[in-house]
Amino acid sequence: MADATSAVPEPADRGTSAYIAEFIGTFALVFFITMAVSLFIEQAPEGLPQPFIDWSVIGLVHVFVLFMLIQTLALASGAHFNPAVTVAMTALRQI
């Protein structure tokens, strides 16, 4: 009887460009969402109008940034820009 683990092929190494693309993508996603949330939480200084931002704007920032990152970096890295997934895939050598 054949060993089940021997039938699993080793994934092809995409090189350092995949790791760099994942780092840039994860950083950009976290950065832009954090900036949108900080604009939502931060009160405007006295005399300046409050920026128009609410939960729907935060969601739209997430969608548009994620769409842009997937379109630009998917071929290089596979485009899993969730930091937890990126760490797990790096540990499993699947990037």
pTM beyond 0.75: no
Q: Phi/psi class of residue 89: alpha, beta or left (left: φ > 0; alpha: ψ in -120 to 50)?
A: alpha
Q: Two tokens at 48? A: 């300046």
Q: What does each of the 95 residues of the chain score in pLDDT, given as a tens digit? A: 555 556 656 656 677 888 888 889 989 999 999 998 888 887 778 887 777 778 888 889 999 999 999 999 988 888 888 778 878 877 887 76
Rounded to whole angstroms, the Cα distance separating 40 from 52 reads 8
- Rounded to a whole number of angstroms, the CA Rg of the chain reads 19
